[in-house]
């Protein structure tokens, strides 16, 4: 099956350290909002669930070479009951994020309904990502952070990063007041304190279509990757990935032209190219950018895309697909 990019074979370089030629991804690629991670020599993608499968729980795929992917099931058979009480009408769980700390994997995910900001970011933990491991069990750790209709933000799309002092942070947000951030704590992985969430990105124009933050440290800077415009409309989607950078994880972030992301800035990193429409929902692992896109040749079905991140002479990320 044709996939996101001819450069996807470079995944094998990261996986094995050996040169690889151009190759398409293959196998089960029906992935939305991929959280890419690597455990040993195995690649994993945890992604948004399907409401018709396993109560909408987060889905799991894996690959031994980063090219051919297979479906590995779902995190749970049934959603934690408290989610349906806290977010009435919740169907599938969205936009997971994976991070490892102290031998524990932390899985953050979103519970919401489309177009509403009565939302919750929740947490589960495990000692392994591999469903075949005898010790595999995702343990529900409850609520991390929530929003209601009285808030000016939307608590979905968690993006987790750890600063130079070892402090974990969670960026989040979708539309409303844009991208926000709160501090977390180890080893619980839950929120630390109750300060007003920091502001990282705001397009300053209704409907403030910016979401899916991902934070990455490289060189002397922190980079904030975001998805802009509209997802989830198949071949009519207008999603694109943009980036800004800052000297501190808490910002302020600016784009390549020096425009603050809080003032509508954002340098476009990846956008629609021919039949590959609306890339977004990004994450990064081992120098690889993971995202979904909508394949116009497959009636707008979403697919997994992978591309190596390269860095130019000015320290900005570049991606080809």
| Residues designated catalytic | 33, 211
Q: Are 170 and 145 in contact (CB under 8 A)?
A: yes
Distance CA 176, CA 115 (A): 10
Backbone angles phi, psi at 14, to 5 degrees: -65, -35
Measure the CA–CA gap between 165 and 159, rounded to whole angstroms: 18
For residue 153, what is the DSSP state? S
Q: Which residues neighbour 274 within 8 Å (Cβ) at sequence distance 6 or greater?
A: 296
Encoding tokens for residue 65? 């070479």
Contact 176, 117 (CB under 8 A): yes
d(CA 40, CA 193): 34
E-assigned strand segments in 112-187? 119-126, 139-147, 159-162, 168-172, 179-183
Tokens encoding 142: 């409850």
Cis peptide before 207 (omega within 30 of 0): yes
Closest CA to 158 of 136, 187, 114, 189: 189
CB burial of residue 102 (10 Å; 0-12, 13-18, 19+): exposed
For the stretch 255-262, contacts whose Cβ atoms lie closer than 8 Å and that sit 24 or more positions apart, written own/partner, are 256/314, 256/316, 261/179, 261/200, 261/201, 261/202, 261/224, 261/226, 262/178, 262/199, 262/200, 262/201, 262/202, 262/204
Virtual CA dihedral for 62, 162, 286, 235, nearest 10 degrees? Answer: 60
């Amino acid at each position: 099956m044709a996939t996101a990019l001819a450069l996807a074979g470079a995944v094998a370089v990261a996986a094995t350290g050996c040169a690889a030629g151009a190759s398409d991804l293959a196998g089960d690629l029906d992935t939305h909002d991929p959280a890419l991670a690597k455990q040993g020599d195995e690649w994993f993608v945890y992604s948004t669930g399907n409401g018709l499968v396993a109560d909408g729980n987060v889905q799991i795929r894996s690959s031994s070479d980063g090219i051919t992917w297979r479906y590995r099931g779902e995190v749970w058979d049934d959603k934690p009951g408290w989610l349906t009480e806290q977010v009435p009408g919740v169907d599938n769980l969205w936009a997971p994020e994976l991070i490892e700390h102290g031998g524990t994997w932390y899985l953050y995910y979103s519970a919401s309904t489309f177009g509403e900001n009565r939302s919750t970011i929740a947490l589960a933990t495990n000692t392994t990502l591999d469903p075949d491991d005898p010790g595999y069990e995702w343990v529900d750790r409850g609520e991390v952070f929530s929003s209601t209709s009285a808030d000016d933000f939307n608590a979905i799309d968690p993006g987790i990063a750890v600063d130079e002092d070892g402090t974990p942070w969670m960026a989040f947000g979708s539309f409303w007041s844009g991208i926000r951030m709160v501090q977390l704590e180890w080893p619980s992985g839950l929120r630390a304190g109750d300060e007003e969430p920091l502001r990282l990105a705001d397009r300053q124009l209704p409907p403030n279509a910016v979401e899916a933050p991902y934070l990455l440290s490289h060189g002397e800077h922190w980079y904030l990757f975001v998805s802009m415009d509209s997802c989830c409309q198949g071949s009519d989607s207008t999603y694109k990935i943009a980036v800004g950078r800052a000297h501190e994880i808490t910002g302020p972030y600016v784009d390549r032209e020096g425009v603050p992301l809080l003032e509508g800035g954002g340098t476009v990193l990846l956008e629609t190219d021919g039949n590959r429409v609306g890339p977004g929902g990004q994450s990064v692992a081992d120098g690889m950018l993971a995202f979904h896109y909508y394949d116009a040749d497959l009636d707008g079905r979403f697919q997994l895309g992978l591309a190596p991140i390269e860095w130019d002479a000015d320290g900005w990320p570049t991606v080809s697909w």
